[in-house]
Amino acid sequence: MQVGLNTQHPVESFELVPAFGGVFDVYRDGEKIFSKKDEGDHADPSAIIRMLQK
């Protein structure tokens, strides 16, 4: 997912941070923009792309 997001939608920086049990967070420029744990479900890749573009 990270490679596809980075090549298709470049931003200054973003990071997918894996955690225990398949949970992950997405950070853009140091700010958390998505947390699977907080949301309770995986985000659709297109939803992540929209969040990165804001």
The identity of residue 33, as a single letter, is: I
Q: What's the domain range around 35?
A: 2-53
pLDDT in tens, 27-53: 888 888 888 888 888 778 888 888 887
* Res 39: pLDDT: 87
* Res 43: pLDDT: 78
Whether the pLDDT of residue 15 is over 80: the answer is: no
Strand arrangement of the beta sheet that strand 14-18 belongs to: 14-18, 24-28, 31-35
Number of domains the chain contains: 1
Q: What percent of the chain has pLDDT over 70?
A: 70
CATH at 27: 3.40.30.10
DSSP readout, 2-50? HHHHHHHS--S-EEEEE-GGG-EEEEETTEEEEEHHHHSSPPPHHHHHH
Two tokens at 53?
């573009």
